[in-house]
Structure 1
Amino acid sequence: MEGFSLQERRPFAGGLPFGDTGPYELLLGRAHYAVDPTAPGNAPITDLALAPRDADGLVRFSGDVQILCPADPRLGNRRLFFDWGNRGNKRCLQYFNDARGSNLPLTAEHAGNGFLMRRGYSIVWGAWQGDLLPGNGRVILDAPVATQDGAPVTGLHRAEFIGQEGVNTFPLGVYTSTYSHPAVDGPARLTRRRYPWSPREDVPAAEWQFGRYEAGMGLEVFGRDSIVAESRQHLHMPAGFLPGWIYELVYTATAPRVLGLGHAAVRDLVSWLRHEASAVNPLRGGIDKA
């Protein structure tokens, strides 16, 4: 990790004190990473060798960081509590403090019973999932795309969907908030099965396509129109998906992201917050263990 940019500092829970720890504050920022693809510790990261490098040979990327810490660092317990979160969402205050869930914890309601705060923890959320799309306050990692000969890598990709009543379109990333690897010309096969152990049956190519259903205002003021728009990031079945059935799409995709860098990001962020002595580190000198 080679830098941190603090974007915003806000009081937490209206300055409410949490026992001997006192009030907390929420810091919003961005971590800037530089990873050496030739370092032995980075060798297990899939496709890291295919990530674009700068002139010095390093792979650079960045990610969101949010820190909930004592306003007076001298009153903390010198412990860093890292919350991995789920799909960019913050969860630890729900689980440990019985708090109301929020991706922007600012109010006393978001503090819940104050368990972690009364004990003086510095809570850190660092983006590690590089296949998420911005929205709803999620912490996002900008993972680089794997390339070969100057172009994004292309290859087979597998996606699995569970059919739902009334649904005829899915993002190829399955969820609205998840990155969809774009389809390109090449082999593609859609199958379905009733249970995980059931044999797969092919869905005829005439029954599905890469596209998405759209509906909206029609040419007439009181009418509505619908279309199937071309989309290389959506799967569309005009007749709909059978509810509860497992659909498996294996298709030719492009632009895979080097998602393993998310684990390197957590490693480097936590180490940097513990050991970096410069003034740019908001937790400098205040953390002994993580």
Structure 2
Amino acid sequence: MKDEQKFQIIAHAVMILLSVFAILPMILMVVSSFTDNDVLIAEGYKFWPSKWSVYAYEYIFSTGNSVVRAYGVSIVLTLVGTILSLTITTMLAYTISKADLPGRGLITFVIVFSMLFNGGLVPTYIIYTNVFNIKNTFAALLIPGLLMNGFNIMLMKSYFVSSIPTEILDAAFIDGAGETMTFWKIVIPLSKPIMATIALFAGIAYWNDWMNGYIYITKRTDLYSVQNLLNRMMQNIQFLSQSSSNVQNATAGLSAIPLASVRMAMAAVGILPIMVMYPFVQKYFVKGITLGGVKG
């Protein structure tokens, strides 16, 4: 018993230390975003700066860039994308979890193959723009990320196989329930942990995605997500910084931009929703990962 207690103490101490190492950079990022830019450059990053300032956030929200609209686009994209992705992933994972499914091995092979190989950026771009015509539309942000993630499918399939007793499903079939009713009335209620886990994966992927907007949104800046908008603002700042010696009065304009603190503010603006949402799904996330990875 004493050895077990020692192990628990050491394990908790290690986890607390790792948690501190994970949290401190985020705290430093937020504090730096509220630090005066000149002080941040002169004194470096501190947890308690000598001078506070909100000018970095004023710059982000008052430079003609509609951050509020970009937040709206990101929220709608994340909600719609997560719901659709979770629906498709759950239905496909449940299907291939059936041992007697004809062609099950081939379908599983295709899913696993997609985890290892893809067509590349150029063929993907040509297909989406010339065949599906999604360029400069909301679908350009949604569809490329909607195609099922093979890892998520296999993780959920493992959960169905290992954590949902076949006896319950057999009892439902004996009582007259079909596959659809069994799926909605029995499988879905028993799969909340893994569904919350997959929803978190999909939601984070959609919220953090900037590549689709960077590639497919070339004219409709009103469709920029918050990540695309912040990326464009950073590119503009870098352009001014590199071209300040060649552009008339650029130096004066550049001096008004909080180059150091605005980077921290952009990071805080982008990560804030994820930090707020994660505590509410953490218990499902841990349980879903643990049970879903038991066996394949």
Larger fraction in helix: 2
The two structures share one fold, judged by TM-score above 0.5: no
TM, length-normalised to structure 2: 0.28
- TM-score after normalising by structure 1: 0.29
Question: Which is bigger in relative contact order (C-alpha 8 A, separation at least 6)?
Answer: 2
